[in-house]
């Protein structure tokens, strides 16, 4: 079974430019997460979707970050404009929240470098 797929794996952009990341979750998973991981730190939640609905976006910097999950499957995270401090690894994860199952499964991540 395919895991969580993210693209691109790496992205280098100049500051003030836009960037977008794409995620395809594990088939059948109803919950999708976007996390950001800085070097030497654990992942931090940016946004969580249950099906199509964003149920927790309290940590998403809404002035420059946006996300969508069309048809409750794939998701896109966008940054516009990017700042130097946005350099990090952006991780997508998915899970099936129900029947006692709560573990999330992660993709390989997108390493963003803003120069």
Residues 12-51 that bind other proteins (CB under 8 A): 31, 33, 40-45, 48, 50
Q: Are strands 88-95 and 31-37 parallel, antiparallel or unpaired?
A: antiparallel
| Neighbour tally for 73: CB within 10 Å | 15
Rounded Cα distance, 44 and 65, in Å: 15
Site string for other proteins, 73-102 (x = CB under 8 A): ------------------x-x-x-x----x
In whole angstroms, the minimum distance from the beta carbon of 21 to other proteins comes to 13
Instruction: Report in angstroms how near the CB of residue 81 gets to other proteins at its nearest.
Output: 26
Distances (CA, A) of 52 to 43, 63, 96: 22, 21, 14
C-alpha distances out from residue 89 to 8, 24, 26, 29, Å: 11, 17, 20, 22
Alpha-carbon span 74 to 88, nearest angstrom:
21
* Residue 55 makes contact with other proteins by CB under 8 A: yes
Whichever of 80 and 102 has its CB closer to other proteins, that residue is 102
Residue 86 CB, shortest distance to other proteins, in Å, is 19
Residues of this chain that interact with other proteins (CB under 8 A) are 4, 31, 33, 40-45, 48, 50, 55-56, 91, 93, 95, 97, 102-109, 111
């Amino acid at each position: 079974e395919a895991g969580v797929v993210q693209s691109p794996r790496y992205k280098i952009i100049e500051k003030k430019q836009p960037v977008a990341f794409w995620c395809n979750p594990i088939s059948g998973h109803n919950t999708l997460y976007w996390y950001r991981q800085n070097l030497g730190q654990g992942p931090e939640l940016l946004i969580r979707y249950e099906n199509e609905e964003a149920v927790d976006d309290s940590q998403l910097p809404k002035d420059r970050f946006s996300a969508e999950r069309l048809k409750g499957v794939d998701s896109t995270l966008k940054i516009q404009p990017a700042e130097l401090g946005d350099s990090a690894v952006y991780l997508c994860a998915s899970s099936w929240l129900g029947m006692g199952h709560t573990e999330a499964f992660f993709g390989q991540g997108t390493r963003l470098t803003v120069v």
